[in-house]
Chain A
């Protein structure tokens, strides 16, 4: 099956700092999503981004499908950004959403 690797596995920031999270995948995809799992366990959709660039407030994401990676940018981080960020993909001609192991982000005040 398709492999999804996220880096870094853990990230600790001071409030106000910027960060970049990376997702590498091993095959062509027709779906790539970024999720934030908050401390209460909820999975929140951040971006649906099989290709291109999107922005939503302080967050933005870029997927370069031909090079099989996606980046999630968090600017001016806040304590409420803490949690686990997951990348998940669906291989082209497939249907299963495959998750990476996640990046645990801690933002300290």
Chain B
């Protein structure tokens, strides 16, 4: 199993550009989520999904869109990048907390994004 994979590892954008961060998992997990980590801080939840076709907002959703057309993939879209979105982005997956008593979350390696 590859676990949770993320691409790209690094990205530099100019203000106003758009891009999609890719996330995939091969563990048949229903629950997937995106976090951002700013320097010296813990991770904050951006968006999450409890299954294909279902997404919801987390703590800091503004400026980001998500969709979940398959169980395996959960891309994060930046519509118009801003310097405030400079951060490290992590994707995670687990069995659904609502369906399984075992819901350990596994994280991808992260994408380091810089917006100039």
Contact = CB atoms under 8 A, between A and B. Distances in A.
Interface stretch (A54-62, A70-78, A91-99): A91-99
Contact of A31 (B42, B103, B112): B103
Nearest to B98: A95
Contact of A95 (B42, B50, B104): B50
A21 to B, nearest CB: 14
Interface residues of A, number: 22
B42 A30 contact: no
Nearest to B33: A97
Interface residues of B, number: 27
A31 B104 CA distance: 7
Interface of B: 31, 33, 41-45, 48, 50, 58-59, 88, 90, 92, 96-98, 101-107, 109-110, 112
20 contacts: A1-B59, A30-B101, A31-B104, A31-B105, A35-B107, A41-B112, A42-B109, A42-B110, A43-B90, A43-B107, A45-B104, A48-B104, A88-B43, A95-B97, A96-B33, A96-B58, A96-B59, A97-B33, A97-B45, A99-B43
